[in-house]
């Protein structure tokens, strides 16, 4: 009995969803959707209130190159508007983060963030330039190994692990190139502005993205 009721409810939901979508399409509001994955690289900086101090008293200010992967999903509305959400994970290893060689191998800063996006896109034949922004939140995890070696089994005498959340705004510009009607290459540049306790913090800075979008 429960199975029959569940099947009936699912069928009803599918029917209602189809009718709503058909109604939206008739009003020319819904113009399809797109989504895909993107690789990114950039340079992030900012204040870190919990940055450690080395044994000789030097303050470590983490900043440097970062790279990662993520994705986005958009619904296309009317002629130019696209709304959706996205999420990314970025990593700054010690080789790109530590300018003064104060951190041992294995140290890293890892950012995970996601939010709601909206942009304006112009469909110019093969090229689709766009401009928009993302609002969301994330967290920064940092592992600082000041004395030790990640390849040994000896306990590290001085290491710190810290996690901090933040709110961020990310304005961006980019352009899609239409390989086919359903497959696009996208190139995007954004500037991440991370805020915690009313001040800019790590991770703040520019990032460039390259990836594939699949459209319907």
Q: Domain 29-215: state its class.
A: mainly beta
The DSSP output letter for 105 is T
The pLDDT tens digits of the residues spanning 25-84 come to 555 788 889 999 999 999 998 876 666 666 566 666 778 899 999 999 999 998 899 999
Whether this model's pTM surpasses 0.85? no
Helix (H) or strand (E) holding 94: helix 94-97
Q: How do strand 183-196 and strand 127-147 relate by DSSP bridges?
A: unpaired
Domain ranges of the chain: 29-215
CA distance 25 to 17: 12
CA distance 147 to 68: 27
Asked whether 191 and 171 are in contact (CB, 8 A), the reply is yes
């Amino acid at each position: 009995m429960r199975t029959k009721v569940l099947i009936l409810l699912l069928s009803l939901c599918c029917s209602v969803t189809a009718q709503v979508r058909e109604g939206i399409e008739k009003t020319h509001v819904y113009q399809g959707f797109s989504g895909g994955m993107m690789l990114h690289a950039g340079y992030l900086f900012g204040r870190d209130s919990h940055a450690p101090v080395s044994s000789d008293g030097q303050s470590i200010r983490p900043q440097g190159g970062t790279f990662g992967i993520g994705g986005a999903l958009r619904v296309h509305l009317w002629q130019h508007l696209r709304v959706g959400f996205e999420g990314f994970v970025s990593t700054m290893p010690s080789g790109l983060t530590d300018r003064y060689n104060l951190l041992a191998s294995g140290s890293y800063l890892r950012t995970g963030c996601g939010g709601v996006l909206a942009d304006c896109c112009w469909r110019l034949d093969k090229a689709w330039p766009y401009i928009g922004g993302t609002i969301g939140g994330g967290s920064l995890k940092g592992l600082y190994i000041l004395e030790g070696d990640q390849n040994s089994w000896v306990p590290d005498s001085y290491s710190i692990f810290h996690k901090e959340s933040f709110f961020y705004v990310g304005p961006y510009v980019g352009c899609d190139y239409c390989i086919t009607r359903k497959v696009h290459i996208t190139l995007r540049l954004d500037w991440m502005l991370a805020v915690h306790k009313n001040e800019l913090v790590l991770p703040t800075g520019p990032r460039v993205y390259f990836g594939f979008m699949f459209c319907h």
